[in-house]
Structure 1
Amino acid sequence: MSEEVSRPDDGGRFISLWELFAQIEKAEAIYAYEAARDLASCLSDDPAGINYIRRRDELGILCPMDIDARLRLLRLLSIFGSHGTLFDDDDRPNDEAQPVFDRFGFYASDIYPFLARHDIAISRPGDEGSVSRVFPDGRRIPGWILAYDGQAWLSYGRAVGILTASTVAAERHSPEHDDVFGRWGRALSDAIERGAIGVTTVSGKQMLAHADVRAWCSQHGHVWPLDASNVQPDDKSNAVPLPDQQAQSSPCNEATKLGRRERQIRLIEEMADKLRYPRLQVPDRGQKEIRKLCEEQDPHLFTGNDHTFKGIWDDALEANRIRMANHNKFAGR
């Protein structure tokens, strides 16, 4: 278990949702409402997480909440994540988000492992002063990256993010950042397809063998700021990227035989990640934005034909790899 998850000094500390948004915001270089959206998505995908929520009353007493109250709070998280604000009864935006989310939160010992399992990075108070490792250009390596030190597996998206952070200091979503992020994504996908990096799947997420990523970077002269675990990629018993996750499939030895459809679906997933859309909760109009990026990224895989894209999307949906947030609303029609 990484230091980011197991640090003993704050396990019993209560962390409000607003404070948690700030920690995610800093580590992931996103806005608070985007942090709320990601958290809401994780809690929706893994409902056991809402059992950890506590309410701080007017006396400062931390109280558990009944299921209805937890679900109402989850709905507020989703509203704030989608709109960046909460609303009055007359649907007017208000300034109540911080006061509301300051009243609810988690114990650190509950939420940090939960976020780690869902591959959401955090930056906790004290991280800056306790970390001395730096990139070759002198920039401090942030704590959210060092949390993956020694992990045997890490997600594809996280690996691309670490490589991007190792290369440029640009803010996330800036043109410079997005350009480098896209180039690293293509390079890493190519290495996977050639079989240079072992992969497995955990809860539907593509995970990469850390030792292979480090060796690939070393071979090509790229900066990789982490130490990899000694666990070998073919050791199925350790095919877990983060605490308490169990691998659902063995590492893929057929990466070089990926067909056209698999490459198309992977590009859809990559573009959804780039747009910060939860893969199984793509918002309204998100499919159109994903398609636009896919066609710009690789016009040979995506030809601009409506019927072709629908077929790719339907195959990805059937494989439970992409889904609209309102899918259930229309699934029966």
Structure 2
Amino acid sequence: MTGAEPARKVTVLGAGSWGTTFAKVLADAGSDVTLWARRAEVAERINTEHQNPGYVPGVALPESLRATDDAVEAMHGAEAVVLAVPSQTLRENLAGWQPLLPPDATLVSLAKGVELSTLKRMSEVVAEVADVPMDQVAVVSGPNLAMEIAGEQPTATVVACTDHDRAVALQAACSTGYFRPYTNTDLVGIELAGACKNVMALACGMAAGLGYGQNTMSSLITRGLAETTRLGAALGAEPMTFAGLAGLGDLVATCTSPLSRNRTFGERLGRGETLAQAQDATNGQVAEGVKSCSSIRELAAHHGVEMPITEVVHRVCHEDLGPVPGAAQLLGRERKSE
């Protein structure tokens, strides 16, 4: 997919809730879409019943949407390949797919995180593993709760790529009456906002689990945005990005909605469940912030950026700090100007 023409054939790799939903969006926008599912029975059900009840229950998928468990078949002739797998498994999955990628296809990341072992953003992982220039990689990020979009509730998002023409082409490929994409070239800011908001949602969930109200939530969201923006500025992002859809928009949605995995996971921790208990209760679906809090914390330390909420979330998730003393740690910090 080059120039500003919309993609005619798009492959989505990953039939989870967001991958399936984004495939639906692309098909509704008129693209020729193939959805790759790891399990043959999932692909079969999408093809015959136009449903994926394990991830988007009750949603009728477009009849034009085709599914397969054969990656070779899925990627044949694709002009854009959408990577819809969790951030910490992206490298491993993409390494297996790399020989099958069409040479000039736009590679689109839906994952939101910072890789634990390398502290790389997802676009950096994609460019490295796929051995493509960075301007061939795009990301989609925004207040995009999958079940609301699958139900065709109106929302907006950001399509980011350093190659503006590629961003415009992808924008055209996923524009529908209920899904409105905007373009942006600030890949660093868009990706950091998407990764950090999951950590802040864990914090807000913990606060809800402890019984705290809207003042606490608003304070965490606002201060969470402040520390995310500090990290972005240190890495060269455009500060205004964090006031946009992929910044504040996604942060508010993820921190406040019961549909947010990270918010729900954090709430369970706040009610006293262990990490393992909370993981079991989410049926194995990934709360990205649980791992990303550690890589973001390390990335911030590497750049000398103070991120106190991220620090507390990491300690609650991985160092046995309780949510109550974690809250006390935040409130007991040295007083300063805003």
> Quick check: which has more Rg, 1 or 2?
1
The alignment's TM-score, normalised by the length of structure 2, stands at 0.31
